[in-house]
Amino acid sequence: MDNKLKISGIVLFLTILFVSGVHAENGYELWLRYNPLENQSVANDYKKSLKEVVVFGNSETSEAIKKELSIGLKGLLSVEYKVGSNAEVDNCLVVGTPKNSPFIAQLSINEKLQKLGDEGYLIYTIDKGAKQRIVIASQTEIGALYGTFHFLRLLQTQQNISDLKIEESPKTTHRLLNHWDNLDRTVERGYAGFSIWDWHKLPDFIDTRYVDYARANASVGINGAVVNNVNANALILTDQYLHKLLALAKVFRPYGVKVYLTARFSAPIEIGGLSTADPLDANVINWWNEKAKEIYSIIPDFGGFLVKANSEGQPGPQQYGRNHADGANMLAKAVAPFGGVVMWRAFVYDNNVPDDRAKQAYNEFQPLDGKFPENVFVQVKNGAIDFQPREPFHPLFGAMPKTPLMMEFQITQEYLGCATHLVYLAPLYEECLDADTYVKGEGSTVAKVVDGSLNSHKYSGMAGVSNIGNDINWCGHPFAQANWYAYGRLAWNPENSSEQIADEWIRQTFTNNQKFIDVVKPMMMNSRETAVNYMTPLGLHHQMAWNHHWGPGPWVNIGRLDWTSPYYSKADSFGIGFDRSSKGSNAVSQYSTSVKDKFDKLESCPEEFLLWFHHVPWDYKLKNGQTLWNGMVDKYYGGAESVKKMQNDWESIKGLIDNERFYHVSQLLNIQANEAIWWRNACLLYFQQFSKQPIPANYEQPNKALDYYQNLKFRFVPGISN
């Protein structure tokens, strides 16, 4: 095509977009999309109930409430609202607290609001019928903001608002995102571009993204952000960076999001000029006390420190012959006078290769239960290895009753296809939270350990390793946004259902069209199991490629032994799987008796964890009668087949949503379908060397040999820098 023609074609396309008022559906708005409601009769009912909006208070948070309601209602109902001040008019929405509103104060709800706590809220209808008024009330303005987002969600998902009686309060006190963002803007295990924190331009330049980030977090109740990598750089603790951090804190504050930092344990040496970082050394203690004072003088509501110590080469107290409690408690004392907390990570393994890495965190931390002050969390990954597609719950849950354990989930898909695979992670989170530790009898779920209700702690919480970057749609994959959303909803209430969360996310992000939901919701709900099947079925784990962790690498045999894949698969001519039973590494003994017994015996071990706990012969009969080898083949093929089904399902909803996001997802599904086959073939061909059995003839045979897969080399893959 000649250039003139090409350019006039593009101009015509842009003109059509401009004239038709179509705005780019690039995913930037996340679930706060507020597009006009599709159902006109529902929209008309809402308009009748919402003739006026009254928001009390003049604080920055009240302004945020006003702003959110006006953009939300304008978008959903196409009505410009002027925020009024007369709460006595019929058909109005009233938002406020007993402190900022005499109207709310006289409603006799103070006692109820007190019970719901500072972040809880009520949404309820007074004066029903023609005069109907809706009240969103909380003890605090942040609670009122949470209530506002809840109310907007009701509209976005087209719920009946004629007789509301909603009482909500978070089950946990600390609901944090952990950004693994480096100061040079690379993101460890980040697949959505560079870090959203532009440290170079801070503190003077405030990207509007920072505000939208805070809005998105507040909309799901996330109330804190650790802004830098757990593999920490001490520079973040210097005055220059603390002022940059202050600029972020100011943007986040009206939305109830506190800033936190990771603390590099050797910071007193690196930026303090001391010769040691020994936590019992008086100069070191003093350095941290002074550092805490300095931080709080700049950012009075600073949340506290997250620490990765003595793990993967990070410095820590063990270098000085001290233990984790010595390190954590020194920092905890420094931040305690200011209300700060320390989150000390249990993801540890030392320089000696253990008989079973899965046992290490428990061995190091369980004996320390009761040795921490109340402002220390031990932050525990959901499983004992490392965010695998499936792991049994970490044995520390339930084993440290005197210590608040913070759940650490990974939202970024390090081991689940990066940002190219559609994997809805809420079922993974839910499976772990619903798991029963049995430590106080039946019903002692991980959720109850995490929300503190099993052992009554002052603090309770969750951390989610962020999947956010500077990609226009924040998370890379349009569906990866659902994992940020779902994480927040589960941190608020670990007993929320993954399916309900998927439902509301789809409605807010895409459409209320039931046809779309009926196809897309099951697709999301099955996607995690699908990934498990084409990556690591039946309890297999840690079979990924070296370093970048994206593709398959069951043969990876470099680095320390417990970083290799065969260490975990233990594939040999007899069978496959890591024997963690009482006859093997005895990792099962770290669970309470009923859980231990279940996992220990081959017959009672759930098949999804079979090869996690047992070394099983290739001809072992699975529950469905297949041999282990044939069952494995079936799972791998089933996984790859399910991605094809996802592709077909997605094609079937074409036209029900905008083309931009439709094609974005369908192209990514093509990648996922190819990569699922890659995982399947590479793993089966590798394990076949040991099973010496054929892939039954009714399956399409791999069209490449094992050495083809073994020789694939990738550089500059997202998440690694070489």
Active site residues: 312, 386, 414
Q: Considering the complex, state which of residue 308 and residue 528 has its C-beta at the smaller distance from ligand GCU.
A: 308
User: Which of 103, 347, 612, 636 is the binder for ligand GCU (CB under 6 A)?
Assistant: 347
The H or E element that residue 306 is part of is strand 304-307
Q: 412 to 441, contacts with ligand GCU by CB under 6 A?
A: 414
DSSP-derived letter for residue 441 is B
Q: Considering the complex, state which of residue 558 and residue 697 has its C-beta at the smaller distance from ligand GCU.
A: 558
CB of 188 to ligand GCU, least distance (A): 5
CB of 408 to ligand GCU, least distance (A): 8
Q: 301 to 320, contacts with ligand GCU by CB under 6 A?
A: 308, 312
CB of 496 to ligand GCU, least distance (A): 25
Angle between helices 481-492 and 208-220 (to 10 degrees): 50
User: Which of 52, 168, 364, 386 is the binder for ligand GCU (CB under 6 A)?
Assistant: 386
DSSP-derived letter for residue 577 is S
561-565 long-range contacts, CB within 8 A, separation 24+: 561/353, 562/349, 562/353, 562/354, 562/357
Between CA 32 and CA 187 the distance in angstroms is 25
CB of 680 to ligand GCU, least distance (A): 23
The neighbouring-strand residues paired with 349 are 311
CB of 345 to ligand GCU, least distance (A): 7
Q: Considering the complex, state which of residue 345 and residue 615 has its C-beta at the smaller distance from ligand GCU.
A: 345
Q: Considering the complex, state which of residue 347 and residue 709 has its C-beta at the smaller distance from ligand GCU.
A: 347
226 forms part of the interface with ligand GCU (CB under 6 A):
no
Helices (H), 692-718: 706-710
Q: Considering the complex, state which of residue 300 and residue 559 has its C-beta at the smaller distance from ligand GCU.
A: 559
Q: 506 to 565, contacts with ligand GCU by CB under 6 A?
A: none
189 forms part of the interface with ligand GCU (CB under 6 A):
yes
Strands 575-576 and 616-617, bridge-based pairing? antiparallel
Give the three-state DSSP class for 200: coil
Between CA 320 and CA 323 the distance in angstroms is 9
230 forms part of the interface with ligand GCU (CB under 6 A):
yes
CB of 360 to ligand GCU, least distance (A): 13
Size of the site for ligand GCU (CB under 6 A): 9
User: Which of 188, 503, 608, 649 is the binder for ligand GCU (CB under 6 A)?
Assistant: 188
Least Cα distance to 247 among 291, 211, 193, 195 occurs for 211
Give the three-state DSSP class for 274: coil
Q: 387 to 416, contacts with ligand GCU by CB under 6 A?
A: 414
The CA-atom distances, in angstroms, between 234 and each of 89, 133, 269, 270 are 56, 53, 9, 7
Concatenated DSSP letters of 125-185: EES-GGG-EEEEE-SSHHHHHHHHHHHHHHHHTT---SS-EEEE--S-SEEEEE--B-TTS
Q: At which residue do the structure tokens 């004392």 appear?
A: 333
Q: What is the torsional sign of CA 516, 518, 521, 526?
A: negative
Helices (H), 165-238: 208-220
Between CA 159 and CA 167 the distance in angstroms is 16
* Residue 123 CB partners (closer than 8 Å, separation 6+): 134, 135, 136, 147, 150, 151, 154, 164, 166, 168
Q: Considering the complex, state which of residue 550 and residue 618 has its C-beta at the smaller distance from ligand GCU.
A: 550
CB of 415 to ligand GCU, least distance (A): 8
Between CA 620 and CA 201 the distance in angstroms is 61
Q: Considering the complex, state which of residue 88 and residue 312 has its C-beta at the smaller distance from ligand GCU.
A: 312
Is 551 within 8 Å of 675 (Cβ atoms)?
yes
Binding map of ligand GCU across residues 463-482, x = CB under 6 A, - = no contact: --------------------
CB of 193 to ligand GCU, least distance (A): 17
CB of 553 to ligand GCU, least distance (A): 14
Q: Considering the complex, state which of residue 386 and residue 562 has its C-beta at the smaller distance from ligand GCU.
A: 386
Q: Considering the complex, state which of residue 215 and residue 357 has its C-beta at the smaller distance from ligand GCU.
A: 357
Q: At which residue do the structure tokens 């003739």 appear?
A: 51
Q: Per-residue b/e over 481-512, b at no fewer than 16 CB within 10 Å?
A: bbbbbbbbbbbbbbebebeebbbbbbbbbbbb
**Is residue 223 packed enough to be buried (19+ CB in 10 Å), middle (13-18) or exposed (0-12)?**
buried
User: Which of 26, 159, 231, 594 is the binder for ligand GCU (CB under 6 A)?
Assistant: 231
Q: Considering the complex, state which of residue 119 and residue 414 has its C-beta at the smaller distance from ligand GCU.
A: 414
CB of 343 to ligand GCU, least distance (A): 13
CB of 230 to ligand GCU, least distance (A): 5
Between CA 502 and CA 482 the distance in angstroms is 7
Angle at 650 (CA atoms; ends 648, 651), nearest 5 degrees:
65
Is 572 within 8 Å of 578 (Cβ atoms)?
no
Q: Considering the complex, state which of residue 34 and residue 415 has its C-beta at the smaller distance from ligand GCU.
A: 415
List contacts with ligand GCU (CB under 6 A). Answer: 188-189, 230-231, 308, 312, 347, 386, 414
